[in-house]
Amino acid sequence: MGRLRRIRLALLALCGVLVVGTTGYVLLGFGVLDAAYQTVTTVSTVGFREVHPLGPAGQVFTIVLILTGVGTALYTFGVLLEVLIEGDLRAHVGRRRMDRAISRMTGHTIVCGWGRVGVSSTQYLGGTGQEIVVIDRDPARLNGVRHPSVLGDVTDDQVLVAAGIAHARALIAAVDTDADNVYVTLSARSLRPDLIIIARARGGSSTATLLRAGADHVVNPQLIGGRRMAAFALQPHVADFLDVVMHDETLDYRLEQIDIGPGSAFVGRSVDDAAIQDRTGALLLALRRPAGPFLANPAADAPIESGSVLIVLGTADQLAAVRSHAGGI
């Protein structure tokens, strides 16, 4: 039986007992108020006193009322108490379990703001198997979120701490206003100087402010959306290919960045000597040396240094092989 149905039936039964009891005492000669008072004191087992002396009929009626009414009242109060305690207890236990899960996370991504941008970012991250913690100040928004979440104001440092910022890999600031995104970026950067921060900008003038606040990357969804629409108009096949490779989870091929560790087998070799495609089957699209620009389709003699980044296209197994040669990063 559903919880609401149980409450409804219990309250109806209690009201029925009170009505029957009051009616019975009225028929025994009590006034309406006295009858209601006598019924309530009897059913609740308080029993201060009898309003009027009871004859044999009144005593029999009271016995029946006690046997039926007290049980009904106790059942009703029990149902209400159970629902109250169970709801609070379940919420408390669920919150504690979620807090423990967040405290055990490492390398996760914190998404600040559960709006359209936050939801889209989370869907993509979840599709790649990343662990995610969502923060939002609106409890209605967090209902039904499948990822661990923290209810609170993202501009509060304690909320970021509760989301596990000490062990997070990245933070996405996708709150509704640029001012809040700037504040979140400042707070996150002060708590974690090495954290990767991606901030959303609603206006073009906010990009520079967010970068000064400490964001590693600033994204303007409207600007990117407009450029993608133009790309589909001019080069639809190129745009469609990139869109599928980056966002289609059912496609075998993926585009991925792979960092070169100091112990990598690629360090000190040229692109030709590394023979990435021959060794792994993955296709090297670009190379970025530390603090340098991207080299698209790098030359065969381009050296690979520790700290470089490879942009590689391949299947999951091929990309795993590249990561293994790159130093397990």
Rounded CA separation 106/169 (Å): 7
> pTM here?
0.62
Task: Classify 94 as helix, strand or coil.
Answer: helix
Q: What is the pLDDT of residue 10?
A: 80
**Average pLDDT of span 201-230:** 88
pLDDT class of 187 with cuts at 50, 70, 90: very high
Task: Classify 258 as helix, strand or coil.
Answer: strand
pLDDT class of 87 with cuts at 50, 70, 90: low
Share of the chain above pLDDT 90, in %: 31
Q: What is the pLDDT of residues 171-180, one digit of tens each?
A: 999 998 899 9
Is the pLDDT at 329 greater than 50? The verdict is no
**Greater confidence, 73 or 121?**
121
Q: What is the pLDDT of residues 122-163, one digit of tens each?
A: 988 887 788 999 999 998 888 888 899 998 988 889 999 999
- In the structure, how many helices (H) and strands (E) does the chain have? 14, 10
Identify the sign of the CA torsion 293, 294, 300, 302.
positive
Is the pLDDT at 13 greater than 90? The verdict is no
